[in-house]
Each structure stands twice: as structure tokens, then as C-alpha cells.
């Protein structure tokens, strides 16, 4: 069972619909005690970072998420979720990130459309033993900030400058693109990513 952290002002309808069509089971969790007992935890969002961090701190997720990950629970951050998993962001200088993925999130540009709202080709820059090859794929992005690529970044796209699209540190995965809104290719990548995190369609995940 996949747990979707429910952030205020964010809609999970598209992600839930995509998971359902692929045969995954999911539940929403406003706070940690509503999470499924096992399976990946997804933190997805596209809105401002400050209120999201405040909500996560108030609900207990801010403290629980790193602890669950430390015990081996897979965590997937999508867009704003990736930014929160990183060490910090220029968007929210008063907050540090959760630090589960190294690196700092910086504003895109200057001299580019803001927000970056559209489709960009993605380039794989580092092979991973289990993650799928996304060479040549187009993904949908909706963001003004992005993680600076690092030595372990798996794939990048370019909007004025290169930015990280996919990161994997142990059981913590961050993806800048909205895979659930990236057509068949995005759904395929989401399914494969969840498989890497131990989740298969149509069955409960193994205990973590």
C-alpha cells in the first residue's frame, strides 16, 4: 500500500488516478499515524514551500519521515517533495530541508520563463543498477526552483541551466517531473520507480 502525504492546497487526484489505473493501492495520510503500515511514502506537491514545511512540522511528518526512511521505508519526493527532501532551498531560506537527498534547490534562470511549465526532454547522466533508463523521454515540469545536479544525479533536464530530474539515495528517491502528468512514458517510469522501491501493482508490499 502506497501512502500519499496530503498537503493542504495540493491535489492528489491525478496521482491517485494514475496509481489506481496501474493497479496500485494507495491511501492519503494527513499525519503519520494515518500512514499504511508498510510500502512507499510519496510526498508530492507543486505549491509554495513555506506553508508545506509548516504543515509537515505541525502534523509530525517532518520528524517521522527521516526516521521511517532510516528504518528502510521507501520515500519518493515529487517536485516540491524533492525540494523538501533536499538540504535546503532558495525558495524557503528560513527552513532547512530534511537532508535526505544532498544538494541545494535553487531558482531557475535568470532569463528563462518562470515558472517552467511544460515538457522537456530528459537526459540520463549516470547509470543506476535498478532504475530504468530514461534516455530520450519527455516529461512534464511545473516549477520555479530545482535541485542543482550533483555527482550522483541520475538524470537532468535543461531550463536555462541543467537541473536535476532524478535522484536516488538509498531508499529515498526524488523526481522533479510530474510523472503522473507525463503521459504513457511518465506512467511507465512511475511504475518502474515504484517497483525499485519494492511496490508492485495489485499486491501489498513486503514488510519494510
Partner 1 sequence: MDAKRIVPVLRVIAGQAPSDGACRLELEGADGILFQDAGPASLRAEWIRAVAGSLSIPFVVEAPFQGFAELEEVLEAGADKVILPAGPSLEAQLAAAVRAFGRSRVGVAVNAVLSVDGHWLADPEGLGALAWMAGLEQIGCGEILLRATPGGTDSAALIQEAAQLSLSVLVLCPGGDALAADALLHGADGLAVADPARSPRQWKQALAVRGLAFRD
Q: Enumerate binding residues for partner 1 (CB under 8 A).
A: 9-11, 13-14, 16-18, 20-21, 46-48, 109, 111-121, 138, 140, 142-144, 158-159, 178, 180-184, 186-187
Q: How far apart are the first and last CA of the chain?
A: 12
Between 20 and 63, name the residue whose CB sits nearer to partner 1.
Answer: 20
Between 102 and 160, name the residue whose CB sits nearer to partner 1.
Answer: 160
In sequence order, what are the residues at sequence separation of 6 or more whose Cβ sits closer than 8 angstroms to the Cβ of residue 9?
Answer: 47, 51
Cα–Cα distance, 173 to 12 (Å, whole number): 19
In sequence order, what are the residues at sequence separation of 6 or more whose Cβ sits closer than 8 angstroms to the Cβ of residue 109?
Answer: 159, 160, 161
CB of 69 to partner 1, least distance (A): 26
DSSP 148: P
CB of 47 to partner 1, least distance (A): 4
DSSP 79: E
Counts of helices then strands in the chain (DSSP H, E): 5, 13
Closest CA to 122 of 185, 172, 78: 185
Between 71 and 94, name the residue whose CB sits nearer to partner 1.
Answer: 94
CB of 182 to partner 1, least distance (A): 7
DSSP 194: H
Q: What are phi and psi of 76, to 5 degrees?
A: -120, 120
CB of 35 to partner 1, least distance (A): 21
CB of 107 to partner 1, least distance (A): 11
Between 46 and 68, name the residue whose CB sits nearer to partner 1.
Answer: 46
CB of 124 to partner 1, least distance (A): 17
Between 73 and 178, name the residue whose CB sits nearer to partner 1.
Answer: 178
Q: Report the run of H or E that residue 4 belongs to, with start and end.
A: strand 2-5
Between 68 and 144, name the residue whose CB sits nearer to partner 1.
Answer: 144
Amino acid at each position: 500500500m502506497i501512502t500519499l502525504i496530503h498537503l493542504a492546497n495540493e491535489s492528489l487526484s491525478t496521482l491517485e488516478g494514475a496509481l489506481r489505473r496501474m493497479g496500485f493501492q494507495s491511501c492519503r495520510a494527513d499525519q503519520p499515524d494515518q500512514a499504511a503500515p508498510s510500502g512507499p511514502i510519496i510526498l508530492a506537491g507543486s505549491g509554495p514551500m513555506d506553508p508545506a514545511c509548516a504543515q509537515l512540522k505541525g502534523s509530525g511528518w517532518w520528524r517521522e519521515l527521516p526516521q521511517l526512511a532510516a528504518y528502510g521505508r521507501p520515500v519518493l519526493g515529487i517536485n516540491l517533495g524533492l525540494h523538501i527532501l533536499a538540504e535546503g532551498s532558495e525558495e524557503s531560506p528560513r527552513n532547512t530541508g530534511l537532508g535526505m537527498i544532498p544538494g541545494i534547490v535553487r531558482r531557475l534562470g535568470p532569463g528563462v520563463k518562470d515558472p517552467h511549465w511544460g515538457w522537456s526532454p530528459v537526459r540520463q547522466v549516470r547509470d543506476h543498477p535498478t532504475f530504468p533508463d530514461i534516455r530520450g523521454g519527455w516529461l512534464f515540469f511545473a516549477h520555479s526552483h530545482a535541485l542543482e545536479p550533483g555527482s550522483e544525479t541520475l538524470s537532468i533536464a535543461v531550463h536555462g541551466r541543467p537541473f536535476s530530474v532524478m535522484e536516488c539515495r538509498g531508499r529515498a528517491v526524488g523526481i522533479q517531473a510530474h510523472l503522473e502528468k507525463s503521459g504513457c512514458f511518465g506512467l511507465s517510469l512511475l511504475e518502474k520507480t515504484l517497483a525499485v522501491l519494492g511496490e508492485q501493482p495489485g499486491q501489498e508490499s513486503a514488510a519494510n
